[in-house]
A and B are shown apart, each in its own frame.
Chain A
């Protein structure tokens, strides 16, 4: 290819770093506006939920295994299991279920 791979990587890294760092460095004060605060409070939960579902169904070879992992994970997390336990249980559910599917 006529383009340099390392320039590609540098461009990608620079753009990504700026996106991630600008708000963190420029927003130094606490935001007082109730609506902006509330918006930022809700952002992580919506983002993580949206990224999990339905993507988890496509991550596994069988969508049923992904659905089972979602169910197992939600029940354990609801009961207060740790991050590691929930993650391992999800993996185990998929592995065991895909032995039979």
Chain B
């Protein structure tokens, strides 16, 4: 490994500590859901290793226990994970154009909200090894949490699970607040996003919509509006 890659991998590991811990806690609750859907610890852990998607797995487990058809599962999976398509587009612009196919195939396997978040907030072009460092802790945390959730069920006190569950949101906050401080446009965008998100999640007219669909719609509409109203003219590579 080149020394530059080694440095980035180490930085990625550091960023991966809260992700791994947070994933462990969230996956633990996911494991409990998998258990009640009738999956074994092995099956649930395998799902977590292959999917790395909380909403996607949760939806899948629910459909499995209902005996849904494979096509239905495929469609629901596409809907629950559609936001990763946007993230993958975004990430494609964060990579050096000459980045090889193998790197792209590995990175694609782990486009999750949090790993994407830390990857996109790295300065300049993304060195894939930074993301690999984060994955090296996130992936075992997610898989082990799922596995133990199936095996141990409700053994953790609710107070600990409750506290750990905001860790992931804390990471999101640490990603979107600093740029909001630097840029008035992003600050406004963040505040508008919060307001509209609150409205859409609480208003009864949107109650039939899944949270995945809400996230996609809000993201597309607000980002498109911001792009039209505040296009970024100068060529800069620091965030997109």
* Interface set of A (CB-CB < 8 Å, partner B): 1-3, 5-9, 11-13, 15-17, 19-25, 27-31, 34-56, 59-61, 65-66, 69-70, 73-74, 76-78, 80-84, 86-95, 98-99
Contact = CB atoms under 8 A, between A and B. Distances in A.
A3 B201 CA distance: 34
User: Quick one: which of A16, A20, A45, A99 has the most chain B CB within 10 A?
Assistant: A45
Interface of B: 14-15, 17-18, 21-22, 38-39, 43, 46-47, 50-53, 56-57, 60, 63-65, 67-70, 73-74, 77-78, 81-93, 95, 97, 101, 104-105, 107-109, 111, 113, 116-118, 120, 158-160, 162-181, 186, 189-190, 193-194, 196-198, 201-202, 211, 214-215, 218-219, 222-224, 226-228, 230-233, 239-240
A55 B120 CA distance: 22
B169 A77 contact: no
B151 to A, nearest CB: 17
Contacts of A90: 166-167, 169-170, 173
A83 to B, nearest CB: 5
A43 B171 CA distance: 17
Nearest to A86: B174
A34 to B, nearest CB: 5
A22 B88 contact: yes
B170 to A, nearest CB: 3
Given A11-B77, A42-B222, 5 more contacts: A23-B85, A24-B92, A44-B176, A45-B190, A51-B172
A23 B108 CA distance: 9
A11 B70 contact: yes
Binding site secondary structure of chain B: helix
A50 B228 CA distance: 20
A30 B224 CA distance: 19
Contacts of A30: 93, 97
Contact of B93 (A27, A60, A94): A27
| Majority-rule SS of A interface residues | helix
A48 B113 contact: yes
A50 B15 CA distance: 22
5 contacts: A11-B73, A49-B197, A60-B163, A83-B171, A95-B160
The residue among B158, B165, B222 with the most chain A CB atoms within 10 A of its own CB is B165
A1 B197 contact: no
